[in-house]
Amino acid sequence: MDFGNLFGSPENFLSYTMGGLVFGAIYALIALGYTMVYGVLQLINFAHSEVFMYGTFAVAWVFILLHGTGSATWSLGEAVPVLLVALVAACALSAGVALLLERLAYRPLMNKNAPKLIALISAIGASFALAEAMGLRDRFAEVFGLDDNLADYVAPGKARDVYTNPVTIREHDILTIGGYTLSDVDLVIIVAALLMMVALDQFVRRTRFGRGIRAVAQDPESAALMGVNPTRVVQLTFLIGGLMAGAAATLYMMKVGVTRQNAGFILGVKAFTAAVMGGIGNLRGALLGGLILGVMENWGSALFGQNWKDVVAFVLLVLILLVRPSGLLGESLGKARA
Amino acid sequence: MTRNKVFGASIAVLALSLSMTACGSDDSGDDDTNAGGGNLCGKNLAFLGALTGDAGALGQNMVNGINLALKEYNADNADCKINLKTFDSQGSPDKAPALATQIINDDSIVGLVGPGFSGESLATGKTFFESGLPSISPSATNVTITEQGWTTWHRVIGNDDAQGAADAKYLTETVGAKKVFVVDDGQDYSKGLAGKVKDSLGDALVDSDQISVGDTNMSAIVQGVKSSGADAVFYGGYYTEAGLLAKQLRQGGFKGTFMSGDGSEDPNFVKVAGAEGAEGAVLSAPAAPAPADFGASGLYATQAYDATNIFLAAIKDGASDGQEINEFIGSYTGDGVSGPIAFDDKGDIKESAIYAYFVKDGALDVENPEEIK
């Protein structure tokens, strides 16, 4: 164990911690999708990782559409206009996929009062179907005779290979504390994620729609008797989860810049872990869980080496669940006070 | 070491006796087809490797090389054509064994160009060896494959030990690095290559770490490299993670040399890292660029072409079964387009040159590598 590496200097400590917070913020945004759907339906939407993955592709496609395929490096300032378009596109595609999922993979089962386990299997199946559809997008384009026109977007013959945003965003240092320099991209990711979390939290706590979500989470039948349309509420929940996944995808592509058809899998597992760690069904828990998981991974890397980071993070998860079986802030969505 | 040699030798003896019995039984079955006097006309070569999937492009390169050799041979020997059957493993050690069984049960197949990768080679080597089917891999470089005593297994490419030693030498002598940080992704190929680099670096190795395939957050490694004061980083693995590591190292302020092996020697490395992140990176490969007039393009196309030509030379020489082809390969000496070819007892190529390729002006320069001597 290498404590000197992690705690040896303020630079090291801040660097490991901030690096973890950046990815933790992204985990947290994805975790929202898991936690909200669970809060309302008591269902783990395993296809949510694919909702995120479609968002990452939307970001790359917008850059190719507006810039072309030539490799380029932009500063964050130069990239902002395109990034905003990409954000809208990613949110739209992710939300669209999430709504489609709800309509095709869940609602038919819910209408038939199928057991929750059936819906869980349906979620896993939908996850595979979505990931493979993205991996076979060149074949779909071929069927419609569009593979030549859309070659840049579907990557014929290489649809399963890594897919890159042609524009790399160059990070600029904006702040130095004790030898550690914070870059503009990192700051934007953390701040944007926090702002979206606060906005969503307020939305659920203060608005009429939010009250509807909480009511259905607490007791769907009573909520229906009180005039809340549960189907609309479930749709709204999937929509919000999709929007947040789209935002997460945009931030992820700013930092990482590459994706592939299975990119959602690992991040999905991490985000689900974050949701459980914070208390599944709890919005603030998702944020806390995401940030803690991200930081723990990096501290684990510093102490034991990078290949131990998941071990550290998951041992921590087990320990937290042993002490607090319902997660750190294990309060359900329905019990959140207005 | 000694113990390994003794063990290896005894395995080899055992293996040889087994293969002889296996071939013996094959002979009796092939008597009808051999009636023409050791003639293998109309038979097939097989290719086993990734044609689709994440590494599909590499397998396609190999098949292009094989097809070029077959086309040339069949044009000159119109009365004795040899054809190719391809088996797509997607590069996966899980999928390859079933295909290997198909290949050995297909009587029309007399030799295998492949398997493409190290993992699938280790997973299928025993099957091929026991059936006596000779194979020449254009691209599988893991050191341990040829230590299994599979006497039918050959490769026309330098193994990871040769490349790792050359890479370490390049970093310490040509680049002049004093502190090298070594990272790998934990896979067979990557660990083998990075391990040899570590051993060869000696005192110049400052620290090492291991990532997982699919990792995108390299910030902990970047900080580790920075606080170690390393002036060079070597990465053993494939282009996606290599690109992300190079990119995040540069963005984190790392100014030293970034080097990786043939798993990263792909234009996608530059795409992933971005032009600025990839600039100045050194990517080694045990492969010379194809001659200008060579009719197939891409990494490993020349090796696949050479491997095919060795089989064709054996057939032309009158070899009538797997055992005779195998004996022909063992004693083969010649100049292929990828370099001089001769095999040692284990099936490794005797001489192999390692080349350093450079990323210049935002692109991987595949035409002007520097040989590491």
When divided into structural domains, chain A yields a total of 1
List the single residue in A19, A170, A171 with the smallest CB-CB distance to B220. A19
CA distance A21 to A180: 14
Whether B213 and chain A come into contact, CB under 8 Å, resolves to no
Cβ-based neighbours of B230, under 8 Å, separated by 6 or more: B179, B180, B181, B206, B207, B256
Q: How confident is the model at residue B310 (pLDDT cuts 50, 70, 90)?
A: very high
Q: What is the pLDDT along chain A (338 residues), one digit of tens a residue?
A: 677 778 878 888 999 999 999 999 999 999 999 999 998 888 899 999 999 999 999 999 999 999 998 888 999 999 999 999 999 999 999 999 999 999 999 999 989 989 888 999 999 999 999 999 998 898 889 899 887 888 889 888 778 888 999 999 999 989 888 888 899 999 999 999 999 999 999 999 999 999 999 999 888 889 999 999 999 999 999 999 999 999 999 999 999 999 999 999 989 999 999 999 999 888 999 999 999 999 999 999 999 989 898 898 889 889 998 998 888 888 666 565 44
Q: Does residue A38 contact residue A44 with C-beta atoms inside 8 Å?
A: yes
CA angle B169, B175, B177 (to 5 degrees): 80
- Locate the chain A residue with the closest alpha carbon to B219: A19
Q: Does residue B354 contact residue B167 with C-beta atoms inside 8 Å?
A: yes
Q: Does residue B62 contact residue B297 with C-beta atoms inside 8 Å?
A: no
User: Contact B268/A71, CB-based, under 8 Å?
Assistant: no
Instruction: Quickly count: other Cβ atoms within 10 Å of residue A203's Cβ.
Output: 14
- Locate the chain A residue with the closest alpha carbon to B362: A71
User: Would you state the pLDDT for residue A149?
Assistant: 85
User: Would you state the pLDDT for residue A1?
Assistant: 61
Amino acid at B16: L
Q: Does residue B151 contact residue B128 with C-beta atoms inside 8 Å?
A: no
List the single residue in A161, A266, A306 with the smallest CB-CB distance to B214. A266
Q: Does residue A145 contact residue A121 with C-beta atoms inside 8 Å?
A: no
Which sequence spans correspond to the domains of chain B?
A: 2-16+38-159+298-342, 161-285+354-372
CA distance B369 to B373: 12
pLDDT in tens, B53-72: 767 778 988 999 999 999 99
Whether A160 and chain B come into contact, CB under 8 Å, resolves to yes
Q: How confident is the model at residue B36 (pLDDT cuts 50, 70, 90)?
A: very low
Using a CB-CB distance cutoff of 8 angstroms, which residues of chain A are in contact with residue B210? Answer: 305-307
CATH class belonging to B161-285+354-372: alpha beta
DSSP helix/strand/coil, A46: coil
Q: Over the Cα atoms of chain A, what is R_g? A: 20
Q: Decide if pLDDT at B28 tops 60.
A: no
Q: Over the Cα atoms of chain B, what is R_g? A: 21
Give the helix, strand, coil percentages of chain B, each rounded to 5. 45, 20, 35
Whether A127 and chain B come into contact, CB under 8 Å, resolves to no
Using a CB-CB distance cutoff of 8 angstroms, which residues of chain B are in contact with residue A260? Answer: 240
Residue A114 Cα, gap to closest chain B Cα (Å): 36
Cβ-count burial of A152 within 10 angstroms (0-12 exposed, 13-18 middle, 19+ buried)? middle
CA proximity to A192, closest of A28, A49, A33: A28
pLDDT in tens, B137-181: 999 999 999 999 999 999 999 899 999 999 999 999 999 999 999
- Locate the chain B residue with the closest alpha carbon to A166: B271
User: Contact A164/B272, CB-based, under 8 Å?
Assistant: yes
List the single residue in A20, A162, A307 with the smallest CB-CB distance to B212. A307
The structure's pTM equals: 0.85
Q: How far is CA B244 from CA B36, B143, B196, in A?
A: 58, 27, 23
Whether A270 and chain B come into contact, CB under 8 Å, resolves to no
Q: What is the mean pLDDT of residues B348-371?
A: 90
CA proximity to B353, closest of B339, B335, B334: B339
- Locate the chain A residue with the closest alpha carbon to B57: A158
Q: Rounded to the nearest 10 degrees, how much is the dihedral formed by the CA atoms of B173, B175, B181, B184? A: -90
Whether A149 and chain B come into contact, CB under 8 Å, resolves to no
Q: What is the mean pLDDT of residues B39-45?
A: 88
Whether A19 and chain B come into contact, CB under 8 Å, resolves to yes
Q: Decide if pLDDT at B248 tops 90.
A: yes
User: Contact A168/B227, CB-based, under 8 Å?
Assistant: no
Whether A22 and chain B come into contact, CB under 8 Å, resolves to yes
User: Would you state the pLDDT for residue B17?
Assistant: 46
Higher pLDDT, B76 or B187: B76
Range of the structural domain that residue A212 is part of: 3-335
List the single residue in A19, A260, A307 with the smallest CB-CB distance to B217. A19
Q: How far is CA B336 from CA A22, A80, B293, B340, in A?
A: 51, 53, 14, 6
User: Contact B217/A22, CB-based, under 8 Å?
Assistant: yes
Q: List the 296-355 stretch of B: residues with Cβ below 8 A of A.
A: none
Pairs of CB atoms within 8 A across A/B: 110
User: Contact A160/B52, CB-based, under 8 Å?
Assistant: yes
Question: Pairing between strand B333-336 and B339-342?
Answer: antiparallel
Q: Decide if pLDDT at B33 tops 70.
A: no
List the single residue in A168, A171, A305 with the smallest CB-CB distance to B209. A305
Instruction: Reply yes or no on domain B2-16+38-159+298-342 having CATH 3.40.50.2300.
Output: yes
User: Contact A298/B362, CB-based, under 8 Å?
Assistant: no
Using a CB-CB distance cutoff of 8 angstroms, which residues of chain B are in contact with residue A307? Answer: 186, 209-212
CA distance B75 to B67: 12
CA proximity to B124, closest of B155, B158, B89, B156: B89
List the single residue in B53, B268, B362 with the smallest CB-CB distance to A160. B53
Whether A17 and chain B come into contact, CB under 8 Å, resolves to no
Q: What is the mean pLDDT of residues B62-86?
A: 93
Amino acid at B338: S
Tokens of A13: 């400590």
CA distance B114 to B111: 9
Q: List the 43-82 stretch of A: residues with Cβ below 8 A of B.
A: 71-73
Whether B233 and chain A come into contact, CB under 8 Å, resolves to no
Using a CB-CB distance cutoff of 8 angstroms, which residues of chain B are in contact with residue A252? Answer: 216
- Locate the chain B residue with the closest alpha carbon to A170: B251
Q: Decide if pLDDT at B29 tops 80.
A: no
Q: Does residue A203 contact residue A210 with C-beta atoms inside 8 Å?
A: yes
Using a CB-CB distance cutoff of 8 angstroms, which residues of chain B are in contact with residue A18? Answer: 219
User: Contact B215/A306, CB-based, under 8 Å?
Assistant: yes
% of residues, chain B, pLDDT over 70: 90
List the single residue in A73, A183, A297 with the smallest CB-CB distance to B276. A73
Q: Decide if pLDDT at B23 tops 70.
A: no
What DSSP designation does B349 have? B
User: Would you state the pLDDT for residue A335?
Assistant: 60
User: Would you state the pLDDT for residue B298?
Assistant: 78
Q: How far is CA B266 from CA A47, A243, B216, in A?
A: 32, 35, 19
Using a CB-CB distance cutoff of 8 angstroms, which residues of chain A are in contact with residue B223? Answer: 12, 15-16, 19, 302
Whether B271 and chain A come into contact, CB under 8 Å, resolves to yes
User: Contact A5/B276, CB-based, under 8 Å?
Assistant: no
- Locate the chain B residue with the closest alpha carbon to A161: B54
User: Contact B211/A158, CB-based, under 8 Å?
Assistant: no
Higher pLDDT, B67 or B13: B67
Using a CB-CB distance cutoff of 8 angstroms, which residues of chain B are in contact with residue A183? Answer: 251
User: Contact A160/B54, CB-based, under 8 Å?
Assistant: yes
What DSSP designation does B289 have? P
Place of tokens 């994706």: A259
Q: What is the mean pLDDT of residues B189-209?
A: 94
Q: Does residue B54 contact residue B240 with C-beta atoms inside 8 Å?
A: no
Residue B30 Cα, gap to closest chain A Cα (Å): 40
What is the domain-level CATH number for residue A79? 1.10.3470
